[in-house]
Amino acid sequence: MNTARLGNSDLELTPIGIGAWAMGGPGYRFAWGNQDDNDSIEAIHKALDAGINWIDTAAVYGLGHSEEVVAKALDGMSDRPYVFTKCERVWNEQGEISKSLKSDSIRREIEASLTRLKLDVIDLYQIHWAEPEEDLEEGWSTLVELKKEGKVRHIGVCNFNVEQLKRAQAIAPITSLQPPYSILRRGIEDEILPYALEQGIGVIGYSPMASGLLSGKMTHERAAALPENDWRSRSEEFQEPKLTKNLAVANKLAEIGARHGRTAGEAAIAWTLRLPAVTGAIVGIRTPTQVDGIIGAMAFRLSADELEELERVL
C-alpha cells in the first residue's frame, strides 16, 4: 500500500483516512442525524481491513460520542491505526458549544479525549479552529507542552489561514493542517497549499466528497428529505440554486469514474489527491456499504484529460 509522510512527523499515511464526524450521532447543531453505532464500528473495521491506517475524529463530534465509538471499534486491537482528534470546541451540561484556546481548558480536553478514546497517547492532536483568535498563541503553546509531556505524538491545526499558520509557526513547527477541500471548495489553492508545501506542513483535506454531494448518491429528492437533525438540511449547498450545479459536477465525476469501474465519490476523492501539497483525504463513512464506494480512491488517480473535463464543467 502506498503511503506518504505527514509533514515533519514519522506518520506514514495511506492516501485516505476514516472520517468519524458523522459517527458522533445527533444531539448538537452540526450532527448528521441519527446513526447506528454498530454500523459505524463495522464500517471502521471494514475500512481498516481494506488497508486504511488512520482515523480522524474530534471531541465535539457528538459531544464526545464519536471518540467513544472509535474506542469501541479499536478495542482489543494489537495493531491499531493512527488516531487523530481535536480540541478547542467545548460544551456545557446543556450541550451548548463554545470556543476556548485557554491552556487549562485544553488540558481538561486532552484528558477527556484520552479517557474516551482509551489511549495513553494521541498520534495527532489538532486545534479545531483558531477561535478565539486572540488566544491562538496560548492554545498552540499548550499543544507544544502536551507533546513534550508525551500525551500527544504530533500537533497540528485545522481551518487556519496563512496568517494564523505563521503565528503558530513562530512558536513551534506545525506538523499538519486540516482544511476543507473538494472540487466544489477550492479556497485553499491560491495561498494556503503553496505555503504548506513550502513550509513542509502536511495537508489532510476534509470533505473531499463535499459532505455527500459528490458521492454519486445525492439527488434532489434525497436533499429535500434530509432530516432536521442533519446539518446539511440547512446548508445552501444542498438547496437551489446551488444544488443543481453541484449535482452536475457529481454527474461528470460519475461519468469519468465509470470509465474505470470507479464511483463518483472515488473520482471526487482522487481529484483532491492530485496535488503534491495534499498528503491525504479524510473520507467520512457511517456504514460498511459506504466503504465499498470510496476504497478505490486509495489507488485511483485522474488523468490530465479528465481533470480538464472537470474544469470545463466548473
139 and 127 Cβ atoms separated by less than 8 Å: yes
Question: Using CA atoms in the order 197, 237, 213, 61, what is the torsion angle rounded to 10 degrees?
Answer: 70
Determine the Cα–Cα distance for residues 82 and 65; give it in Å rounded to an integer: 18
Neighbours of 103 (CB within 10 A): 16
Chain Cα centroid distance, residue 314 = 24
On whether the CB atoms of residues 181 and 188 are closer than 8 A, the answer is yes
* Contacts of 167 by beta carbon, 8 Å cutoff, 6+ apart: 136, 137, 140
Question: How are the residues of the chain apportioned to helix, strand and coil, as percentages rounded to the nearest 5?
Answer: 40, 15, 40
User: So which residues are the catalytic ones?
Assistant: 61
